[in-house]
Structure 1
Amino acid sequence: MIGRRLKGARSASGYSLRALSDIIDNKVSAQAIGKYERNEDMPRSSVLLALARALNISVDFLMSADELELEGVEFRKSASSSVKEIASIEAKTLNRVEKYLAVESLLNLSSQEWDAPREAPYWASEPRDAEDAARNLRASWQLGQDPIPMLSELLEERGIKVMSLDVDRVDGLAAKVRRRDKHSARVIMIRRHTWAERKRFSLAHELGHMVLKVGVGYDPERAANRFAGAFLIPAEVLRQEIGARRTDISIGELIGLKRRFGVSIQALTYRCKDLEIITQATFGHLFKIYSDRGWRSEPFEEPHSMPWDREEPMRFQRLCFRALSEGLIGLSRAAELLEIRVKELEERLDVVA
């Protein structure tokens, strides 16, 4: 039955039942589509094809018997995000995960369990625990103390499905994808069109949600933020760079550190405060400067930021290109999977060639 998949695809597209009916030229009514979603009726083939085209999905996708469900969803989002927006983002994420897993299946790739550290989840009841968790995860993954050049690629290498979506007011999402008769997959979604330093922090923040078990009395968002700062900017390296105590620090010095660690000036300033390298008074003074310069308001972008595509996850696109090259899918199917037009796909293939 197509009910759950149809409703998910419609939610992901942001259409109401009436709007979807209008888009397919009222081949069936909104009430009829509602019945399809509740599995009370099944559309005839011409309506099924029209629905698939309107929602930019395949008929095979709608008819698939695979049952996937997001569990343990954690968001990094604005307080103003509505329930409808959250539901749409969850639906978009689930649809993208299904496509990702379908391409892996086409290529006979095992969708392995993610490389969770043996000690995880790490218990965190205070900031020091989040610091220790980040240090232990780096050790488990043998990352040393160096800055991580491409965090999205690292996470995909470790078996986490990373994807970016065009969303507003949500920077990231982490979840487990439950699959019938198979092990669960892990997914992190990040906001596509935002500067790369913000993406990197969102990725590390969502990773924190995946590996931490936060005790009562310690806010999970604060714990994930502390983990992210420690994972991206190891304490020992930062102290070597700027010293254990500072009475002041210049914007120019922070920009240099920003380039080294691939994080924002604001994240660096928080990290310096958390490690007591600077005082609360210095922290407040710096953030007043950031506010005066507009860095604390949307889109939060600072000077000397990396472009948004520097931290784009690319594995799914590579898999689609591979499936296309091996003749397992055609151009139109590859474009559908990547959610782009065939012409844009041809341009991407030409650039790669």
Structure 2
Amino acid sequence: MIGKRLKSARAGSGLSLRALSDAMQNKVSAQAIGKYERNEDMPGSSVLIALARALEVSVDFLLSDDELELEGVEFRKSASSSAKEVARIEAQALSRVEKYLAVESLLNLSSQDWDTPQGAPYRVEEPRDAEDAARSLRDAWLLGKDPIPMLSELLEEHGIKVFSLDIENVDGLAAKVSRKGKHSGRIIMIRKHTWSERKRFSLAHELGHIVLNVMPDCDAERAANRFAGAFLIPAEVLRQEIGAQRKEISLGELISLKDRFGVSIQALTYRCKDLGIISQATFGRLFSIYKERGWRSEPFEEPNSLEWDVEEPERFKRLCFRALSEDLIGLSRAAELLEIPVRKLEQQLDHVT
């Protein structure tokens, strides 16, 4: 029965029952589609093909009985995010996970386990405990105190699947993925079209949700933010660079630190406040300047911004290229998995710009 898969694909497309019927040139009614989703009826082959085409998924996806579910979903989203938008993003994330797992299976790669760091999940009773958690994770992953150049690649190396989606109002998502009784995998989703400094912070924030065990009396979002700052900007290194306490700090100095750590000026300023390096008054004055210069709102045009495609996850693309080269999939299937036209895939394979 296709009910669950069909409903998930429709949620991912953002279509209502009526809109899906219209997208199929009214081959079947909205009421009929509702029956398919409730498993009260089963579409014939021609309707099944039309459904898959309208939803931009494969017939195999709709017919698959591989039950994937997201568990413990944590969003980094704006207050304006609607329940419908959240459901659509969850459906898109599940679709991406299934494609990822399918390619890993073709290549006989281990897919579900992730490299759980020693001591995780780290107990957090107040946001400051997230400092110790970030330090413990860096130690477990042998990162030392150096800046992390490519966070998305680091996460993928440790078994966390990272996706980039073209969405609005949501900067990140972290979740477990269960698959028919197998060990739960971990995924992180980030917003594709936003500034790269924000992507890096969102990745670290969502990593916090994965590795922290936040107690009920503690604000989980504040703890994840504190973890992200500490993971990207170790306290010891920052204090060595600018001192343990400052009355003032120049924008030029913050820009130089931004270049080193790959984070926003605003994240650095928050970090300095959290560590007591600057006072609340200094923090407020700096953020007044950021607001005046337009750095607090889209498109967040801070000085020395990273290129937009920094931190775009690449492992899934590499696996698709490998499967194609080893004749495990064809060109059209690879393009479908990567969600790009065949012509664009051919250009990428030939290094044509």
1:82 equivalenced with 2:78 (yes/no):
no
Residues of 2 paired with 1:301 and 1:166: CA distance? 20
Q: Residues 273-307 of structure 1, C-alpha deviation per residue, up to 9 Å, x if partnerless?
A: 00011111100000000111111122334221112
SS in 1 for 2:259: helix
**1:100 has 2:100 as partner:** yes
Aligned to 2:23: 23
Q: Secondary structure at the match of 1:311?
A: coil
Task: Identify unmatched segments of 5+ residues in structure 1.
Answer: none
Which SS does the other structure have where 2:184 is aligned?
Answer: strand
Where 1:178 maps in the other structure, the secondary structure is strand
Q: Identify the residue that residue 224 of structure 1 maps to in structure 2.
A: 224
Distance 2:184 2:103 in 1: 17
Paired with 2:269 and 2:232, the residues of 1 have a C-alpha distance of: 13
Question: What secondary structure sits across from 1:27 in the alignment?
Answer: coil
1:124-150 Cα distance to aligned partner (Å, 9 max, x none): 112321000000000000000000000
Contact preservation (8 Å) 2:166, 2:193: yes
Equivalent residue number for residue 135 of structure 2: 135
Gaps of 5+ in 2: none
Structure 2 residue aligned with 1:344: 344
Does 1:321 pair with 2:331?
A: no
Who is 1:151 aligned against? 151
SS at match of 2:239: helix
- Specify the code of the residue in structure 2 equivalent to 1:247: K
| Alignment partner of 1:50 is 2:45 | no
* Pair 1:264 & 2:264 matched: yes
* Per-residue deviation, residues 6-57 of structure 1 (Å, max 9, x unmatched): 1111111111111111111111111111111111111100111111111111
Q: C-alpha separation between the residues in 2 aligned to 1:248 and 1:182?
A: 53
Q: Is the 8 A contact 2:232 2:261 kept in 1?
A: yes
Q: What is the match of residue 181 of structure 1?
A: 181
Q: 1:201 Cα deviation (Å)?
A: 0.3
Task: Describe the superposition over 1:221-255 as per-residue Cα deviations: whole angstroms up to 9, x where unpaired.
Answer: 00000000000000000011111111111111111
In 2, the alpha carbon distance for the partners of 1:216 and 1:184 equals 23
Partner of 1:38: 38
Alignment identity in percent?
78
Letter aligned with residue 211 of structure 1: V
- Report how far residue 352 of structure 1 moved: 8.0
**Deviations, residues 299-341 of structure 1 (Å, cap 9, x unaligned):** 3342211122111000011111111111111111111111111
| Equivalent pair of 1:56/1:339 in contact (CA under 8 Å) | no
Name the SS of the counterpart of 1:26 in structure 2. Answer: coil
Q: Which amino acid aligns with 2:182?
A: K
| Partner SS state of residue 128, structure 2 | helix
CA distance in 1, matches of 2:223, 2:76: 12
Distance 1:133 1:112 in 2: 24
Which AA in structure 1 matches 2:143? Answer: L
Q: What letter corresponds to residue 136 of structure 1 in structure 2?
A: S
Answer yes or no: is the 8 Å Cα contact 2:52–2:62 preserved in 1.
yes
- Distance, in Å, in 2 between the alignment partners of 1:106 and 1:181 is 20
Runs of 4+ in structure 1 over 4 Å off: none
Look up the equivalent residue of 1:346 and give its one-letter code: E
Residue 293 of structure 1 aligns with an amino acid whose one-letter code is R
Q: In the alignment, is residue 333 of structure 1 matched against residue 333 of structure 2?
A: yes
